[in-house]
Amino acid sequence: MARGAGVFSYPAFVRLWISDTTKWLGVFTSGLALQLLLIEALGADQVELGLVKSAQWLPMLLFGLVAGVLIDRVRRQPVLVVGDAVCALAFGAIGVLGLLGHLTVPLVAGLVFVAGTASLSATAAHQSFLPRLVPISQLSRANARIEQSMTAAEATGPLLAGVLVRVASAPVAILVNATTYAVSALVLATIRAGEPAPARVTDRHLWRELREGARWVYRHSTLAPYAVGLHTWFFFNSAVMTILVFFASEELGLGPVAIGLVLASAGLTGVAAAGLTPQMADRFGAGPVMCGAAWLAPVAFLCAALAPAGGAGLPVLVAGQLVYGVSNGLRGPLEMSYRNAVTPDRLRARMNSTIRSLNWGTITISAPLAGWFAVTFGNRPTILVCVAGLIVAALIPTLSPFRTVRMPDDDLGTVN
């Protein structure tokens, strides 16, 4: 069996991959469309953009840790199906109300809060479900294939959104996302993975299980610096992404299709980079590849800060996003594979939820803070502050034992 094609010999993984590929196309289509809807149709400024983004990720801060504990107690597949179905309804409501002219910024914030709540549960279940579908030895390749699909969607979704907004409307683009979530839920329901029921434990205590998950992450010699660096990256990455579309539209004067091209550029290089991650990890080690890729993020957004106004700024933004795509494409599959490979199955949902809750929870603070900072001091100074923060995020794992880690060969999934 060819190493690169091995994961597609597992039918359950193939269905999960189809589900993810379909869903990601819609996510990246509506991501830009939602921001353009807020800016152009609802007249939102940077602060309001930040507040809507904060509402989308607030469920992670409120419920993320508890979700991880609860998901460790149930089968993960039903959680995936219900989560995507709820997201389909929430984004469908945004699209329909947008077409009818009944949307307001607070209403959008409320609906994305609902979608965020459903998404956090589904994502926690997904990250813990995948290791059940393929052997640990194939996990980095499975994550690489999923990352390639995500980055391919990142390359096409924003362009599709720009075209749809130009020829139809932003609500139509958002309805595309609702449809892809519905299709994803249907495909997930057909997976036959033989997922065993979690072991019944009579003496269970919510806070004790939360502490156990947190201790596993933050007392681990390599997971701890990785997690702290990732939390820092999420804070400053989400801050700069909150204002990037507004900056490109209002300050540089780019239109929807041009902005779609900028955001799509990251997907183009991300696909190629994700495909190279297993080979690069085998040759150089997972730690050196992940740490090296982290240093590309501040370079990418430095390009944005230096982009001139008008059409001359377009190639500079595109160049930065091409670098950004390489960074994410190299890091994503390896980071997800490594942290799941070194974690026992009974702790995976809690480990993932612990890391992800603080990752995405930071967005509830950084997004509105970035909006306020941009209104007060300007978009370019805000981007430069974020560049400095991304340098710190890269420095933390680089100066720790994480920089030398390699993927383990043994399967910890059955450890109790």
Tens-digit pLDDT profile for residues 319-338: 999 999 999 988 888 888 88
Share of the chain above pLDDT 70, in %: 91
How far from chain centre, in Å, is Cα 326?
Answer: 15
Contact 145, 370 (CB under 8 A): no
Q: What is the pLDDT of residue 203?
A: 58
pLDDT averaged over every residue in the chain: 84
Looking at the predicted structure, is the pLDDT value of residue 143 above 80?
no
Looking at the predicted structure, is the pLDDT value of residue 201 above 60?
no
Q: What is the CA radius of gyration of the chain?
A: 20
Contact 270, 146 (CB under 8 A): no
Q: What is the pLDDT of residue 107?
A: 93
Q: What is the pLDDT of residue 413?
A: 45
Overall size of the chain counted in residues: 416
Class of domain 8-191+206-404: mainly alpha
Q: What is the pLDDT of residue 391?
A: 97
Domain ranges of the chain: 8-191+206-404
Token readout for 215 is 């201790």
Q: What is the pLDDT of residue 412?
A: 47
Q: What is the pLDDT of residue 169?
A: 84
pLDDT band at 405 (very low <50, low <70, confident <90, very high): confident
For the stretch 286-321, pLDDT in tens is 899 999 999 999 999 999 999 998 888 999 999 999
Q: What is the pLDDT of residue 72?
A: 66
Query: d(Cα 327, Cα 311) in Å, to the nearest integer?
Result: 26
Please, which residues have CB within 8 angstroms of residue 170's CB and are 6 or more apart in sequence?
A: 33, 34, 36, 37, 40, 41, 98, 164
What is the average pLDDT across 364-389?
A: 93
Distances (CA, A) of 322 to 239, 275, 301, 395: 19, 15, 11, 22
Looking at the predicted structure, is the pLDDT value of residue 198 above 70?
no
Looking at the predicted structure, is the pLDDT value of residue 148 above 90?
no
Looking at the predicted structure, is the pLDDT value of residue 231 above 60?
yes
